[in-house]
Amino acid sequence: MRNRQRKRRVIVVTDGDSMALRALKMAAKQTGCRLISRSAGSPTPLSGPEIVHWILRAQSDPVIIMFDDNGNQLDNTAEISMSYVLSHPSIEVIGVLAVASNAQSQQGIQVHCSVTPDLRIVTSAVNKEGWPTQRFNLKGDTVDILRKFSIPMIVGIGDLGKMHGNDAPAKASPVTTKAIQLILKTQQSPQHSCFEHIE
């Protein structure tokens, strides 16, 4: 029987559409993570307590969960749910996949590194297509709320499952998978960081 006192390790993804779900299913299968498919949706269909319920019911961890505000600044349902999960005493967020979008109004979030469509790891943020930008702040839906929390690893990435076919589920979503692997490697060996993989 597992130790019920141990916090459940969670990876947060700031995207919830159907293509992102397909990409994350491939990544979860290849990395041994559990994906809460019920958290998918644009906007996020579950409340914070509902998401925590499914995280704690997962047979193992790390658990991948998805949040998406569908680009609607007037609907903060996803942010409320995310805040609840990130603040929950039974949850340890080991990393975030911050997904870029064409959002312009948000402040954005500073990433530790990003994964590009050609599987390079770079120090800058990326755009929706996944290519490096000239800034460290990534602009995307449902990312501004992350500024209120201390996240050990934030990895920037383009539109999951897309990026002009480079992350297609038919190709096993290599970009999404590499980003998840990067979070797992850093969590398993805290003395290492993504900077050791910068190209």
| Domain count of the fold of the chain | 1
The model's pTM is: 0.92
Confirm whether 43 is domain-assigned: yes
- Residue 111 to residues 99, 117, 154, Cα–Cα distance (Å): 11, 17, 5
Q: What is the pLDDT along the chain (199 residues), one digit of tens a residue?
A: 454 568 999 999 999 999 999 999 999 999 999 999 999 998 899 999 999 999 999 999 999 999 998 766 656 889 999 999 999 999 999 999 999 998 765 789 999 999 999 999 999 999 999 999 999 999 998 899 999 999 999 999 999 999 999 999 999 999 999 999 999 998 877 655 665 655 5
Confirm whether 32 is domain-assigned: yes
**AA letter at 84:** Y
How high is the pLDDT of residue 10?
98
- The alpha helices in 58-158, defined as continuous H runs, are 77-87
For residue 20, the enclosing domain spans 8-197
Confirm whether 1 is domain-assigned: no
Confirm whether 52 is domain-assigned: yes
Angle formed at CA 71 by CA 78 and CA 158, multiple of 5 degrees: 95
Confirm whether 153 is domain-assigned: yes
